[in-house]
Amino acid sequence: MNKKEISNLMDSVWKEKVYIETAEFKIIGYVFMPKIGKRNRLLSEVLNSNKQFIAVKDCRLEYKLIPQKEVEKHDFLQVNISTILLMRPMYED
């Protein structure tokens, strides 16, 4: 892809920083959704989609069951939607 194609792709999506909690993990990262519909419905659209997984980019992963384990940083994770207990936006200053 050239720079113009990448720019067009990025202009057609919303990026939202989120906090995700599962039974085993706490995850902070970014989810992306197409600019279809209202932005304030982004997270509900992610959770109510017919997909099994959501992509989380530029994230940190904390182990809830092993608190002494070092926090991991990942460029990309796939999270199974059925494991999500809580997902909320994290507003950036």
Q: Provide φ and ψ at 17, rounded to 5°.
A: -80, 130
Closest CA relative to residue 62, chosen from 93, 88, 29, 32: 29
Give the residue with greater pLDDT, 14 vs 82. Answer: 82
Domain count for the chain, please give it. Answer: 1
Instruction: Please give the sequence-ordered ranges of beta strands (E in DSSP) within 1-93, or none if there are none.
Output: 13-21, 25-34, 53-63, 72-80, 86-89
Q: Residue 18's pLDDT is what?
A: 93
pLDDT score, position 2: 65
The CATH number of whichever domain residue 32 belongs to comes to 2.30.30.100
Q: Which domain holds residue 52?
A: 3-89
Q: What is the pTM of this model?
A: 0.78
pLDDT band at 32 (very low <50, low <70, confident <90, very high): confident
Assess whether pLDDT exceeds 80 at residue 84.
Answer: yes
Higher-pLDDT residue of 93, 21: 21
pLDDT beyond 90 at 75: yes
